[in-house]
Amino acid sequence: MTRNTYIDLSNVGHYFESGDQTIHLFDDLNLTLNRKEVTSIVGSSGAGKSSLLSLAAGLEEPKLGTVTFVKDKEKVSAEDYRQNIGFIFQQFHLLPEMDALNNLALPMRLKGMDSAFEEAAEWLSFIGLSDRAGHKPSQLSGGEQQRIAIARAFISEPDYIFADEPTGNLDVSTAASISDLMLDCAEETGCGLVLVTHSRQLAEKASIQFELVNNRLECAA
């Protein structure tokens, strides 16, 4: 497969200091994340999943090894790469004073796009929440808020979406529908979706699966 846009982690090691102790999260980690692929990384709390996500997103630099960002066959800096990625978190991070339509349109408005509200209305329809356009976050259920947070991440069609425990605050039934929505959005936009989670049910929905265990990244499927 010819790779045009990808993130390559090579021989990456990461750790942090806690008092007089050094806590090792992982060693000699190798991982390539390709655009248009759904990758999951499962692991227990404290295994280092969120740190790995931060490294892959260019938010941190590894203590050891290298992280390389390639866009359209050209190597780019982490700063440049971060201009075209999105995030989904366990917390929804919607602005409480804005209704659903405005929360969803915000990323495009910040980029000065005239079509922001039209695009936001289309995405509200895609996620089945057109009738909630005028509702503020406090008037929405947790599942509805997460649907909007997911659509907000995808609306500008970034190269990658990084999702950190995206179903952690949801009940089992809602988590299942949210998982399916993320996969549908990834397919719709063609972006790369990277999921870190402790939920094996969510992880198993990815086409490429890894497990972070005993400071190592192992192929899970």
Measure the CA–CA gap between 219 and 30, rounded to whole angstroms: 11
Among left, alpha and beta (phi > 0; psi -120 to 50; other), residue 9 is beta
Measure the CA–CA gap between 183 and 5, rounded to whole angstroms: 19
C-alpha 71, offset from chain centre: 18
Looking at residue 64, what is its pLDDT? Answer: 94
The token pair that represents 128 in the structure block:
């089945």
**Other CB atoms closer than 10 Å to residue 199's CB: what's the count?**
18
Looking at residue 1, what is its pLDDT? Answer: 47
pTM for this model (two decimals):
0.90
- What domains can be seen in the chain, in order of their start residue? 6-219 (3.40.50.300)
Among left, alpha and beta (phi > 0; psi -120 to 50; other), residue 42 is beta
Q: Tens of pLDDT along the chain (221 residues)?
A: 457 899 999 999 998 888 888 888 898 999 999 999 999 999 888 788 989 999 999 999 999 999 999 999 999 999 999 999 999 988 888 999 999 999 999 988 988 888 999 999 999 999 999 999 999 999 999 999 999 999 999 998 899 999 999 988 888 888 899 999 999 999 989 999 999 998 888 999 999 999 998 888 988 76
Looking at residue 56, what is its pLDDT? Answer: 96
